Amino acid sequence: TYVVTENCIKCKYTDCVEVCPVDCFYEGENFLVIHPDECIDCGVCEPECPAEAIKPDTEPGLEKWLAINADFAVKWPNITQKRDALADAKEWDGKPGKESLLSP
């Protein structure tokens, strides 16, 4: 599966959702997740994210983010259409330490 990681937080560009062939993105207030059981590993969303927040779970060190994606995917509503990015997305893009700002 692919996973959405920290740099999506407070950016939420949403370019990713429109390309997913199985519509497996779920939306929180300031973050998106991929449902790990629905993702078919096609990889087309990865280059679409301006924040480079989408990664294959085969990359090392992503266990925590995989768990976060799995957790929220069953709590948040599905999203399939692009929205405006969050207002200050550009300022937050690339900032470290955003994990604690994730709105559940």
Q: Helices (H) and strands (E) in the chain — how many of each? A: 3, 4
Within the chain, strands assigned E span 2-4, 25-27, 32-34, 54-56
Based on C-alpha coordinates, what's the Rg of the chain? 12
20 binds ligand SF4 (CB under 6 A): yes
Nearest to residue 94, comparing CAs of 66, 31, 52?
52
Q: Which stretch binds ligand F3S (CB under 6 A): 36-44, 51-59, 69-77, 94-102?
A: 51-59
Contact pick of 18, 19, 70, 102 for ligand SF4 (by CB under 6 A)? 19
Q: Which stretch binds ligand F3S (CB under 6 A): 4-12, 36-44, 58-66, 69-77?
A: 4-12
Binding-site ranges for ligand F3S (CB under 6 A)? 4, 8, 11-16, 32, 48-49, 51, 53-54
